[in-house]
Amino acid sequence: MGTSSIYGGPNDKNPLLPEGFDEEYNRNNEDENNDNSSNEAENIEENASDDEKQINQARTGSWQETKRSMSQYITGHSNNKGRVASNYVRATGGSQAASNQAISGRRATVQLGSFLSSVAQIGIHKTLENLQIDYMGKSIETLLSEIVNLISPSSNTKEDAVARNALIEVECKMYEFILENNMDIKSLDHMDEAIFDALMENYVTAYIFERMLSDLQSRFEKYADNAKVALQKENEFRDFIQISVELELQAAKLSKLDYQDKSIDRIIKKLYSDCYRIMEVFI
């Protein structure tokens, strides 16, 4: 875990991000966008043969095939969740492209990790004070809501909404932990590394699932017989993604990362890419 104070500046910047994070964050995204543009230009050469074009299409995937495989899964004509996930990641442009597109998700991951690191180091009360959140006389629900608003403010963009929905799911897990400990928010002071890692893994899982759901929601609405069936299929798919994420992140030890390091976005970006990659290559 990092050793820097969680509060890194004045009120007009997010205190959960390290100094210089935004500059590094924007630079990383610009570099990746330039790399992607170069790769696309190389892959779409005018003189490419039909066979080469077919190979490129198979590698990159298509939204049409992704939606078709999802529809087959929802209607019960196929039980291959891995094929749907693989088609989906390839349709986004591959695991690296999917990670690049997870802009709000990666940012919220860093801020959640920074928050949990601070709680582990200095306790929840001191952390809330550093974040300028007044905790006196407030309910657990109100405090968790304020934490969500700080990490992932409301927005009209789909990406921001996905990141926020994933964070709300993690906050529900935190609430369950507090509930099991006599509704004492200071019980968060006693989170061990296993709980820290589980919360972070839960966020990555929730983000990937929510993003996929937002892209393919129409399939569920169109082909599910009723709301109960749709929810069942969604839960099955979420479980599949969770297993994939846990397989990839079990050795990452997210509780050990320094979330105040300027290079943290590159680290988180690779973790997302690795998680998408294990879904992409599923056979």
pTM for the model stands at 0.81
Under the banding of pLDDT at 50, 70 and 90, the label for residue 154 is confident
Q: Is residue 163 classed exposed, middle or buried when 0-12, 13-18 and 19+ CB atoms within 10 A define those classes? A: buried
On whether the CB atoms of residues 21 and 265 are closer than 8 A, the answer is: yes
* Closest alpha carbon to 106 in 33, 175, 26: 26
Distance CA 116, CA 188 (A): 9
> For position 218, what pLDDT does the model report?
80
On whether the CB atoms of residues 273 and 96 are closer than 8 A, the answer is: yes
> For position 283, what pLDDT does the model report?
58
Alpha helix segments (H runs only) across 81-139: 81-91, 95-101, 103-122, 124-130
Mean per-residue pLDDT of the chain: 84
Mean pLDDT of 79-97: 95
pLDDT tens digits along 127-137: 999 999 999 99
Q: Which residue has the higher pLDDT, 27 or 47?
A: 27
Which tokens in the block code for residue 243? Answer: 């297993």
Q: Is residue 12 classed exposed, middle or buried when 0-12, 13-18 and 19+ CB atoms within 10 A define those classes? A: exposed
Distance CA 1, CA 20 (A): 18
Mean pLDDT of 78-96: 95
